[in-house]
């Protein structure tokens, strides 16, 4: 079949001969082109439906001058606008204290998008996207800002027909969350909508970036403050790991195949290892990191999310509440170490100088914004147990750290040994190289799934060796897929909360981490040094080797 790719008209303002706006014609043609060549310009994904088009809306980004907007949010929005149908009239209002005009904002964003977007930035497509960008300057704590913002939003609704739909995005430092939320509510710029609200009226939603608090008490406080202005169905707590294609693929792998689910349990699984290793250091975020540390920054959020997707029971269906009910259920079954167990089942490390990526790097304590005597952990390892029918007695070993040898995130399910190896003790056999089966789900990079199993080495003797069967996303689908933020921003605009953390999920995750934080505060587990470029402190090896197991070298 010959496919003719539609000619994409020039983007511009005005009306096309069809009677539609030029913007409409332009967006339509781009989407048609994407539909035929695949959403990522990728023939292996051609024909995928574009059935998820949100309503026209305005996204308001608080803290728009920060790193997150430049590296993630704006490139993701641009890629969505180019590759996926973002609605006609879609607009962004950036809010920050910096003295910028709309044009300054557009210029900075163009540079950021050119650097970080997945798709190419052309003059036409940028012009189309940039028309929807506006900037409002002000102090987040000043009620006057919200008056100006409200006026600007009303003007955009008229000019770009965004229908009063608003997505507020808090990309600021956490100290501003409370004043922004209170002012949004107090000024009427955001209105509360609950199940009794008219489903046909315009919608207001808020997306909030982690950290959702720094301990269970502050997390509960933030939950209450948000609940005073927004109903739970309006709140989208973002954890970008859930937007990663490969994390969602864990669910597809488990629940769309008959083969593996029957062995995902204590009868067959010896233990599970979850690793989220980074080669980078704190990259200028010393101030934030001093307050957070690896346990709050990575374990409380991303790693517990990975644990839930691998350990939860099959949800009734793929909808927001069904999936999140199961996630909360499994989190509630996790037994965190408490009291004396903390020093045995957790390790906290901090990088000292060493070699990373072939160059010498300094210690954490010499990073900008870090105390000279800091005890903040840049590495954490822990052993958790899940007290339920499926996983009782199957340890979950988790580790994460900065300045490790390379960037790799994976979940490895290590199965039990076979009960009897019939090849053993036979003359002419060699079974020394046979290790138990391991199923590895590689979240990043080299996204894919690998299965390790034993095979016979060809030849007249019975030699067995461990081999791997590999599935690579890249080979099967051309490339790994859109950035996590694209998926999550689109879901928030569509009002689909499945991949966002629900209030009880956040609270339960904090309740698991809190006893560890308390134990650490009591000095139970001193922070131990590890060399940059190593796999973490010796104590992390001890943690798992005490159980007769070893960390994988991913």
CB of 107 to ligand BG6, least distance (A): 27
Distance CA 398, CA 483 (A): 24
Say which residue the tokens 């987040």 belong to.
140
Distance CA 211, CA 291 (A): 10
Sheet strands (E) in 190-240: 204-208, 235-237
| 175 vs 432, beta carbon nearer ligand BG6 | 175
Relative orientation angle of helices 304-311 and 503-521, to the nearest 10 degrees: 120
Q: Which residue is closest to ligand BG6 by CB?
A: 297
CB of 297 to ligand BG6, least distance (A): 5
| 276 vs 449, beta carbon nearer ligand BG6 | 276
CB of 295 to ligand BG6, least distance (A): 12
Please count the other Cβ atoms lying within 10 Å of the Cβ belonging to residue 447. 22
CB of 409 to ligand BG6, least distance (A): 6
CB of 407 to ligand BG6, least distance (A): 7
Say whether residue 410 binds ligand BG6 (CB under 6 A).
no
| 113 vs 303, beta carbon nearer ligand BG6 | 303
- 23, 278, 491, 507: which one binds ligand BG6 (CB under 6 A): 278
CA 379 to chain centre: 19
| 409 vs 508, beta carbon nearer ligand BG6 | 409
DSSP 240: G
Active site residue 302: yes
| 67 vs 547, beta carbon nearer ligand BG6 | 67
Closest listed residue to residue 543, CA positions, set 388, 331, 395, 387: 395
**The two three-digit tokens of residue 436, written as one number:** 């138990």
CA distances from 108 to 11, 137, 149, 554 (A): 21, 15, 21, 38
Find the helix or strand (DSSP H, E) in which 169 lies: strand 166-170
CB of 341 to ligand BG6, least distance (A): 27
DSSP 10: P
| 282 vs 464, beta carbon nearer ligand BG6 | 282
**The two three-digit tokens of residue 164, written as one number:** 């009063």
Peptide bond into 211 cis (omega under 30): yes
Q: How far apart are the first and last CA of the chain?
A: 44
| 278 vs 326, beta carbon nearer ligand BG6 | 278
**The two three-digit tokens of residue 539, written as one number:** 């104590």
Query: Is the four-CA dihedral 513, 515, 517, 523 of positive or negative sign?
Result: negative
Size of the site for ligand BG6 (CB under 6 A): 3
Burial of 255 (0-12, 13-18, 19+ CB in 10 A): middle
- Cβ(354)–Cβ(270) under 8 Å? no
| 174 vs 185, beta carbon nearer ligand BG6 | 174
| 136 vs 404, beta carbon nearer ligand BG6 | 404
Distance CA 181, CA 267 (A): 48
CB of 204 to ligand BG6, least distance (A): 26
CA 294 to chain centre: 15
Of 84, 271, 302, 360, the catalytic one is 302
Residues in the chain: 554
Burial of 47 (0-12, 13-18, 19+ CB in 10 A): exposed
**The two three-digit tokens of residue 382, written as one number:** 């822990």
Dihedrals phi, psi of 493, to nearest 5 degrees? -65, -30
CB of 287 to ligand BG6, least distance (A): 13
What x-and-dash track marks residues 360-399 binding ligand BG6 by CB under 6 A? ----------------------------------------
Dihedrals phi, psi of 205, to nearest 5 degrees? -135, 160
| 30 vs 72, beta carbon nearer ligand BG6 | 72
- 88, 270, 297, 367: which one binds ligand BG6 (CB under 6 A): 297
CB of 260 to ligand BG6, least distance (A): 25
CB of 493 to ligand BG6, least distance (A): 21
Strands 346-356 and 359-361 turn out to be antiparallel
Binding site for ligand BG6 (CB under 6 A): 278, 297, 409
Query: Which residues carry out catalysis?
Result: 302
């Amino acid at each position: 079949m010959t496919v003719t790719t539609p000619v994409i008209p020039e983007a511009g303002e005005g009306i096309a001969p069809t009677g539609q706006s030029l913007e409409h014609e332009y967006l339509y043609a781009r989407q048609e082109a994407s539909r035929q060549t695949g959403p990522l310009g990728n023939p292996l994904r051609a024909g995928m439906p574009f059935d998820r088009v949100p309503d026209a809306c305005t996204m308001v980004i608080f803290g728009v001058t920060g790193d997150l907007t430049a590296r993630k949010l704006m490139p993701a929005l641009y890629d969505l606008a180019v590759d996926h149908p973002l609605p006609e009239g879609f607009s962004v209002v950036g809010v920050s204290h910096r003295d910028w005009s709309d044009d300054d904002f557009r210029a900075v964003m163009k540079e950021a998008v050119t650097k970080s977007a997945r798709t190419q930035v052309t003059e036409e497509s940028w012009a189309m996207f940039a028309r929807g960008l506006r900037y409002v300057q002000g102090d987040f704590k000043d009620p006057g800002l919200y008056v100006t913002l409200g006026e600007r939003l009303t003007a955009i609704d008229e000019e770009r027909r965004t229908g009063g739909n608003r997505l507020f995005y808090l990309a600021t430092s956490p100290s501003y969350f409370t004043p922004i939320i209170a002012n949004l509510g107090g000024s009427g710029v955001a209105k509360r909508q609950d199940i009794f609200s008219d489903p046909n009226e315009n919608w207001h939603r808020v997306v909030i970036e982690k950290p959702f608090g720094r301990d269970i008490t502050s997390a509960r406080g933030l939950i209450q403050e948000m609940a005073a202005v927004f109903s739970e169905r309006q709140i989208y707590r973002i954890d970008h790991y859930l937007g990663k294609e490969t994390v969602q693929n864990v669910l597809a792998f488990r629940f769309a195949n008959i083969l593996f689910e029957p062995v995902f349990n204590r009868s067959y699984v010896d233990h599970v290892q979850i690793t989220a290793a980074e080669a980078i250091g704190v990259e200028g975020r010393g101030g934030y990191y001093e307050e957070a540390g690896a346990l709050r920054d990575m374990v409380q959020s991303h790693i517990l999310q990975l644990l839930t997707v691998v350990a939860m029971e099959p949800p009734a269906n793929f909808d927001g509440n069904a999936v999140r009910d199961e996630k909360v259920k499994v989190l509630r079954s996790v037994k965190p170490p408490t009291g004396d167990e903390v020093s045995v089942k957790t390790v906290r490390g901090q990088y000292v100088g060493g070699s990373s990526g072939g160059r010498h790097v300094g210690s954490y304590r010499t990073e900008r914004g870090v105390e000279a005597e800091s005890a903040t952990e840049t590495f954490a390892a822990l052993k958790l147990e899940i007290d339920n029918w499926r996983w009782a007695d199957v340890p979950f070993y988790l580790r994460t750290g900065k300045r490790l040898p390379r960037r790799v995130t994976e979940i490895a399910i290590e199965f039990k040994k076979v009960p009897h190896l019939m090849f053993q003790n036979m003359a002419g056999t060699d079974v020394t190289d046979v290790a138990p089966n391991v199923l590895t789900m590689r979240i990043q990079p080299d996204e894919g799934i690998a299965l390790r199993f034993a095979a016979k080495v060809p030849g007249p003797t019975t030699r067995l060796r461990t081999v791997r069967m590999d599935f690579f996303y890249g080979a099967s689908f051309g490339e790994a897929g859109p950035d996590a933020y694209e998926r999550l921003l689109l879901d928030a605009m569509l009002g689909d909360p499945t991949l966002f953390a629900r209030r009880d999920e956040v609270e339960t995750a904090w309740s698991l981490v809190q006893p560890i934080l308390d134990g650490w505060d009591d000095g139970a587990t001193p922070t131990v040094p590890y060399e940059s470029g190593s796999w973490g402190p010796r104590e992390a090896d001890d943690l798992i080797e005490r159980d007769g197991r070893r960390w994988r070298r991913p």
